[in-house]
Amino acid sequence: MLRRIAALFFVWVLSVHAVAAEDSDASFSPFGEREYLGFGSLFVNDFLGDGYDRWRSGSYGTSRFWGYGWNGALPQSAGDLLELRVGGEIMAPACLSSHIPLDRPWAGMLTAGLHTQFQRHGTEFAFGGDVLMIGPQTGLNSLQKAIHDVIGIEGPSDEVLAHQIPNQWRLRFVGETGRNFDLGGQASMRPFVEARAGDENLVRAGVDFTFGRFGRGELVSRDWVTGHRYRSGARQEKGLSFVVGADIAKVFSSIYLPEDRGYRLTDTRRRVRAGLHWQGKNHHLFYGLTYLGEEFDMQYQGQLVGAVRLDIRF
């Protein structure tokens, strides 16, 4: 019980620290005359879902936006709104103490990239590119060990890390298009399609439902692990919103599950998610759950991961 409390306290500290950066005055714009519009983030961990530490173990992503003002709608031209995305992820086998052949290899990934969002005739587009640092050069293996030492949980062994995905650099392209449909009242539906190429080559189709004011006139980004959309500062709508969504992907290749090591990808990759957003005057809270289906043949079941964000403005 004490270990779980310590782990949850660590998550809380991480979330609040991320929001503290949002409150800083970003008067300097690295993108010319554009003004700083807002900051968003999402912390994902399977401990906050099914309570384990395996497979899609944990990630953290942030988005910062610059543009020529914000009136509640995406601009018509690509490049007017710029989004800087930074994040990282740890992927791990189900057993951290010893190497089990064909269980997921340990992998650490850090990413940074530039994206843009715009809309034409009510259809929204988002695309951009990222640079990925992968392998022990990220230092995420040491970070996970240190965190596990603090909360008293066994971290990845030297044997497990000896089989991790090796050092490499990759470029990644991400593109998404979607459209919002008003269902009446405060309900809306947004079908979308997505393509990714680089570390994982895939195409995905899905839909998100929103019951409440979340996303209306707001800047939002999509988390790459769960598919949850998170708000990024501009024109936040107050109140409680419930979100639910699902998608399915065809994955053609993944450097995290290399074919030359004997891994076989599942025919499809499924995600089902639900969450609650609460936006008050000086605070915002989000908690969501996502079921991630099996990603490779030897993965004996799916997993449930949790996502959290806590904003406190002082």
Q: Please, are residues 255 and 165 in contact by the beta-carbon 8 Å criterion?
A: yes
Whether the per-residue pLDDT at 11 is higher than 80: the answer is no
Domain 2-312 grouped into CATH 2.40.128.140? yes
> What pLDDT score was predicted for residue 118?
97
pTM, full prediction: 0.88
Find tokens 């599942």 and name the residue.
266
- 261 in helix, strand or coil? helix
DSSP output for the chain: -HHHHHHHHHHHHHHHHHHHHHTS---S-SSTTPEEEEEEEEEEEGGGTTS---EEEEEEEEEEEEES---SS--SSTTSSEEEEEEEEEEE-S-SSS--TTSPPPEEEEEEEEEEEEEETTEEEEEEEEEEEESGGG-HHHHHHHHHHHHT-----HHHHTTSPPPEEEEEEEEEEEE-EEEETTEEEEEEEEEEESSEEEEEEEEEEEESSTTTT--EEE-TTT--EEE-STTPPPEEEEEEEEEEEEEEEETTS-GGGT--B-S-EEEEEEEEEEE-SSEEEEEEEEEE---BTT--S-EEEEEEEEEE--
- 14 in helix, strand or coil? helix
pLDDT tens per residue, range 218-228: 899 999 999 99
pLDDT tens per residue, range 101-132: 889 999 999 999 999 999 999 999 999 999 99
> What pLDDT score was predicted for residue 208?
98
Gap between the Cα atoms of 189 and 180, Å rounded: 6
pLDDT tens per residue, range 79-88: 999 999 999 9
> What pLDDT score was predicted for residue 314?
64
> What pLDDT score was predicted for residue 172?
98
pLDDT tens per residue, range 226-262: 999 998 866 666 789 999 999 999 999 999 999 999 9
Whether the per-residue pLDDT at 269 is higher than 50: the answer is yes
Alpha helices in 36-130 (DSSP H): none
pLDDT tens per residue, range 124-182: 999 999 999 999 999 999 888 888 877 777 889 999 999 999 999 999 999 999 999 99
Whether the per-residue pLDDT at 295 is higher than 80: the answer is yes
> What pLDDT score was predicted for residue 18?
42
Gap between the Cα atoms of 42 and 89, Å rounded: 12
Residues 6 or more apart from 198 whose CB is under 8 A from it?
130, 132, 170, 171, 172, 173
Domain range annotation of the chain: 2-312
As a whole number, mean pLDDT of residues 7-23 equals: 46
Find tokens 């450097």 and name the residue.
255
> What pLDDT score was predicted for residue 126?
97
